[in-house]
Structure 1
Amino acid sequence: MNAFIGTGVALITPFKADLSIDHQALAAVVEFNISNGVNYLVISGTTGESATITAKEKKEISATIIKANKGRVPLVIGIGGNNTAAVVEELQSTDLSPFAAILSVAPYYSKPTQEGFYQHFKAIAEASKIPVVLYNVPGRTAKNMEASTILRLATDFKSIVAVKEAGNNREQYLELIKNKPADFLVISGDDDLVLGVTLAGGSGVISVIGQAFPKEFSQMIQWGLEGNTEDSRKLEARLMPIINLIFEENNPAGIKAVFKKMGYCEDAVRLPLVPATEALQSKIAAFIAQF
């Protein structure tokens, strides 16, 4: 699973002013990331506003990214939800051949028990024809998938190859790294913690801010994987202000404000999200100007 060691980015879905998908801008973002060293791309995650993307749009987004990628880096597709049967049906009806893995979010809203998490991902692992990356993000799902459950799944199912851990919980990261099977990857979903996690034995990141600063962020992660603490920490210090800024209001409004300032796309988001406030946009602009 070396394909998922390093820097992955959770791609935005650029919208035009009328909230239709801006496929030209999306292709430009893909090219910007690949040409600046990102190792793999994640499609239709939270940052891609998957909650407000239709099934037809999801196929169109995937087609645009596949075409722009030209087979250069691995692609991961988000397929998850809180209706296990519906997730399994999507897995069975989707052409997964262009993708290296699926990223499947822990069930949200339902707040299952740990056994419920296990049975949900057991069904997904058995249905998926390609590797599965678990996605634990309790800040959005309202329930933490505990390290013991993740490790149980990693041990019981060879097709479950990694976890994107985004609980912002250092202790859980360390427990996963310490007790994981040898070939199981612990990938950070917390941009503010990722370097520490990588230096502690993690496998890198699926990042939000990395797609706007792909060269610097990818270099930081690579140095972290190599154990180069001094240089990687210097880059982390440069990037930390913008990491904090993009999550100040909501994601992906913050990262889209960055891309608007950089000239890649509009900052439009679909309701119930709203664009970044003028105050936040001003702070983002000031950071970019000095960076």
Structure 2
Amino acid sequence: MKKLNGTGVALVTPFKKNGKIDFNGLEKLVKYVLDNYVDYLVALGTTAETSTLKQEEKWDVIKCIQSANYKKLPLILGLGGNNTEDLVNKINSIKNLSDFYAILSVSPYYNNPSQEGIYQHFKSIVNHTEANIILYNVPKRTGSNIIPDTVLRLAFDFEKIIGIKEASGNVLQSYRILDRKPKNFSVISGDDFITLPIILGGGGGVISVIAQGFPDKISNMISLAKKNDVKKAFSIFYKIMKIIDLLYEEGNPTGIKTFLDVIGICNPYVRLPLLVGTPSLRKKMLHSLNEINQ
């Protein structure tokens, strides 16, 4: 399998005001990022509000993304959980697993496993499914961190574990993995703020939230960074840094959905317990966008 590189987009799930999925908005979003040079799509991740989607809705979202994508870009499917046996069964229930480049699977949340428990969780997935796995480490959401030694152990022990989305916010942790990882194992930034340092340290790219708002700019920034054109890459980053900051002011995906509404891609609506972005946030985004476009 070819190593995963470049700009991945953590797609939102657009909703209508009545809470139903806005498939027209989703199709428009996929076509927007397709036309602006991103490298792959991530469906049903955290940013997609997957925890609030019914199972039937999840497959309808997948079908919509696949249809809009026309098999142009690799598709990563977010599928994780804290019940290992149930997760294995869910992966094995996917009829066309070969349609997906890999499964992005978050470290078990809430039940706070030990490092050995995390290792055994992913070992069980690999040994009982045909899926290629990208680990997803996001301690602020799961309550536990996959430490570098555990990541490296998994990477060396299982060829089907092809990478990690590192969203710990700790650049040094990423560097410790990058320093010792297998050649074909990808370290992917899961944090838009520290993507450039991770790529410059040898990382493969980013699974990005802001890339669906600025797909051309982020794709260009990543490409420049991978060519070691540091000055130009950071000039793009500094230009959009304020918008990235605003994305998280009222939480994700509230922020990115507000921004996508501002630029006319889809509605800003979210499902409880999240709340729609405030008029204040929208005003600040408009101001920052005007500054960028000047």
* TM-score, with length taken from structure 2: 0.97
Structure 1 gaps, min length 5: none
Amino acid across the alignment from 2:108: P
The residue number in structure 1 matching 2:103 is 102
Per the alignment, in what secondary structure is the counterpart of residue 192 of structure 1? Answer: helix
Identity %: 44
| 1:26 Cα offset (Å) | 0.3
- State the distance in 2 between where 1:226 and 1:125 align: 34
Gap change, CA 1:227 and 1:48, over 3 Å in 2: same
Per the alignment, in what secondary structure is the counterpart of residue 232 of structure 1? Answer: helix
Structure 2 gaps, min length 5: none
The residue number in structure 2 matching 1:208 is 209
Cα deviations by residue, 1:122-159 (Å, 9 ceiling, x for unpaired): 11112332311000000100111111101100010000
Per the alignment, in what secondary structure is the counterpart of residue 102 of structure 1? Answer: strand
- State the distance in 1 between where 2:147 and 2:280 align: 37
Alignment coverage as a number of residue pairs: 291
| 1:281 Cα offset (Å) | 1.4
The residue number in structure 1 matching 2:28 is 28
- State the distance in 2 between where 1:146 and 1:215 align: 33
Q: Does 1:144 align with 2:130?
A: no
Conserved in 1, the CA contact under 8 Å of 2:247 and 2:254?
Answer: yes
Conserved in 2, the CA contact under 8 Å of 1:3 and 1:40?
Answer: no
Conserved in 2, the CA contact under 8 Å of 1:9 and 1:211?
Answer: yes
Conserved in 1, the CA contact under 8 Å of 2:3 and 2:186?
Answer: no
Conserved in 1, the CA contact under 8 Å of 2:11 and 2:41?
Answer: yes
The residue number in structure 2 matching 1:75 is 75
| 1:275 Cα offset (Å) | 1.1
Q: What does 1:190-269 align with in structure 2 at a 5 Å threshold?
A: 190-269=191-270
- State the distance in 2 between where 1:217 and 1:223 align: 10
CA RMSD of superposed structures (Å) = 0.9
Amino acid across the alignment from 1:284: M
The residue number in structure 2 matching 1:282 is 283
Per the alignment, in what secondary structure is the counterpart of residue 133 of structure 1? Answer: strand
Q: What does 1:46-57 align with in structure 2 at a 5 Å threshold?
A: 46-57=46-57
Conserved in 1, the CA contact under 8 Å of 2:108 and 2:142?
Answer: yes
Conserved in 1, the CA contact under 8 Å of 2:14 and 2:267?
Answer: yes
Q: Does 1:178 align with 2:179?
A: yes
Per the alignment, in what secondary structure is the counterpart of residue 98 of structure 2? Answer: coil
Amino acid across the alignment from 1:105: V
* TM-score, with length taken from structure 1: 0.98
Conserved in 1, the CA contact under 8 Å of 2:44 and 2:58?
Answer: yes
The residue number in structure 1 matching 2:130 is 129
Per the alignment, in what secondary structure is the counterpart of residue 4 of structure 1? Answer: coil
The residue number in structure 1 matching 2:66 is 66
Amino acid across the alignment from 2:66: I
- State the distance in 1 between where 2:129 and 2:85 align: 13
| 1:3 Cα offset (Å) | 5.6
| 1:40 Cα offset (Å) | 0.1
- State the distance in 2 between where 1:8 and 1:162 align: 13
| 1:265 Cα offset (Å) | 1.4
| 1:62 Cα offset (Å) | 0.3
Cα deviations by residue, 1:101-122 (Å, 9 ceiling, x for unpaired): 1100011111100001000001
- State the distance in 2 between where 1:162 and 1:263 align: 34
Of stretches 72-81 and 281-290 in structure 1, the one that deviates more from structure 2 is 281-290
Per the alignment, in what secondary structure is the counterpart of residue 144 of structure 1? Answer: coil
Amino acid across the alignment from 2:27: A
Conserved in 2, the CA contact under 8 Å of 1:91 and 1:127?
Answer: no
- State the distance in 1 between where 2:2 and 2:237 align: 24
